[in-house]
A and B are shown apart, each in its own frame.
Chain A
Amino acid sequence: MNAIEIHLNGEPRDVPEGLSIEELLRRFDLQPRMIVVEHNGDILRRERYGEVRVGPGDALELVHFVGGG
């Protein structure tokens, strides 16, 4: 399988081509219901995590809630 480079939380990362967002989250042991995904500047609805696939050069931000005031 070919690897593609994406920008994940600001860092370049190699991931397999054709990976869905859901599979990407699983690779990092992240639960989809705890995470919000921004894909190339747009927020991705959770229902679409299974169908949307990452492409070369995509910018992805995976965020969650942390302690804050």
Chain B
Amino acid sequence: MATVTESLIHEAPLVIAGRPLRSRLMVGTGKYRTNRQMVDAIHASGAEVVTVAVRRVDLDRSNEEGVLHHLDPNRYLLLPNTAGCYTAEEAVRYARLARAAGFTDWVKLEVIGDQDTLLPDVAATIDAAKTLIDEGFTVLAYTNDDLITALRLEDAGCAAVMPLASPIGSGLGLINPYNIRSIKARLAVPVIVDAGVGTASDAAVTMEQGVDGILMNTALAEADEPVRMARAMGLATEAGRLAYLAGRMPRRERAVPSSPLQGMLA
């Protein structure tokens, strides 16, 4: 029987497009030193949603490079991305190819606007989202930490909106907590912070803003020990979520004793 304590600690799972997910942490599969390390890190993270990219097969190399050789699509929800696409048309083409693989109609939509910063082209992202949603895709849209764009993506029918913490692969952490909070306050669909988290404290601080989840890749893949970092990120995501639900104490500019002032010896 669930005790009161357990009911306070275990909340209902995050649900996206009707699907309950076993973790609020989502992870990528890119840039690991070995496939073994990738598989172990993903396992250690506790994530269920795992992103993958769509690319040409390298015809001159072994056929063992595909991610499906290493990850069981029955155990993980493989979420294809449109990373590397710079136009709405290109992103739509990649999404269609991904869906044709036959695993999911979910897509992490990403339309990049600039090579140096990898910041999203938000107008093209909204266009592509509309096309894909018309075609029956479940769209999780990567976007800037801009409230108006987030609202437009929700209006377009996106199943989740994924504002960045900071640029992709930067590891700079959550640069603008206010923007993320304002997006979370206004959207009904889940808000997943995607990109920029560097270490466990970044993940906790991000979750403490009240968002529904985090997606990360480089922070795990480029850690000295990805498996340890993956576990740390899983714990930090959960810790940040619980701290948000618990509600933090007020900040004060002066000390307040924790022990009674009464009963001191004369």
Contacts and interface: CB of A to CB of B under 8 A. Distances in A.
Interface of A: 8-10, 28-31, 34-36, 38, 43, 45-46, 61-69
A66 B53 CA distance: 5
A59 to B, nearest CB: 12
B8 interface: no
Interface stretch (B64-72, B201-209, B249-257): B64-72
Interface in B162-186: 168-169
Nearest to B38: A67
Please classify the interface of chain B as helix (H, G, I), strand (E, B), loop, or mixed, using the class held by over half of its residues.
mixed
A61 B63 CA distance: 16
B51 A8 contact: no
Given A9-B59, A31-B63, A65 B54 contact: yes
Given A9-B56, A28-B57, A28-B63, A65 B78 contact: yes
A18 to B, nearest CB: 20
B243 interface: no
Contact of A63 (B29, B38, B54, B78): B54
A65 B52 contact: yes
Given A34-B68, A34-B69, A46-B102, A66 B97 contact: no
20 contacts: A9-B59, A28-B63, A29-B63, A34-B68, A36-B54, A36-B100, A43-B97, A43-B100, A64-B67, A64-B68, A65-B52, A65-B66, A66-B29, A66-B53, A66-B65, A67-B29, A67-B38, A67-B53, A69-B31, A69-B81
